Amino acid sequence: MIGTAYAQAAGGAAAGGDTLMGMLPIILMFVILYFLMIRPQMKKAKEHKSMQEALAKGDEVVAVGFLGKITKVGPNYVSVEIAPNVEVQVEKGGISRLLPKGTIKDAQ
């Protein structure tokens, strides 16, 4: 009877190792998910935020689908000239891309 009790204790320790091995693929999937999806998305968001903070008068941008040139920069909004004598106010979050200088002249 004593020998049976020892055998059960040894089996219980092995079951704890099986639980860890069963969780290993799930943990590995979360690590892969972090490096393939979450981390690049955080990097892209950080770059977009720094681009928004660096906006200046005269920059050419894509704002809400329109090409335009920034005429005024405020803390939350920018004025974008999308045609001669046509300005729209756009929230800074609506600026999707900063274009190279001279792009708007090429597009017309």
DSSP labels, 52-75? HHT--TT-EEEETTEEEEEEEE-S
Cα 6 to chain centroid, rounded: 54
The mean pLDDT of 77-85, rounded to a whole number, is 94
Instruction: Give the model's pLDDT for residue 21.
Output: 87
* Domain spans in the chain, listed from the N-terminal domain onward: 1-54, 56-107
Q: Could you tell me the pTM of the whole model?
A: 0.67
Q: Name the nearest CA neighbour of 68 among 76, 59, 77.
A: 59
Identify the architecture of domain 56-107 in CATH. Roll (2.30)
CA dist., res. 73 & res. 102, Å (int) = 20
- Helix (H) / strand (E) element for 32: namely helix 2-33
What pLDDT was estimated at residue 17? 72
pLDDT for res 73: 95
